[in-house]
Amino acid sequence: MATYREIIDRVRQTDGFVAQTCWIADVKASHGLTRGQSPNRIDPGRKVKPCPPEKRAAIERALIHFEMV
């Protein structure tokens, strides 16, 4: 399994932007790849920075590259 740093580097090389870790976590959660919510989340039902729809495809391509999806 790739680290967040490896995913960020892959997205930067292939798509030219720096993916935020919260975006990566949002995409991973939508594919069932996270263990659960962070214990320090203030409101369990609300995400502060969900992944923007226009960035989701690039992050998913990186996850596919690392054989995580």
pLDDT in tens, 2-58: 999 999 999 999 999 999 999 999 999 999 998 877 787 778 777 788 999 999 999
Domain boundaries defined on the chain: 4-65
d(CA 39, CA 10): 28
Q: 66 versus 46: which is more confidently predicted?
A: 66
- Report pLDDT for 34: 86
* Kind plus residue range of the DSSP H or E element containing 61: helix 53-65
The structure's pTM equals 0.88
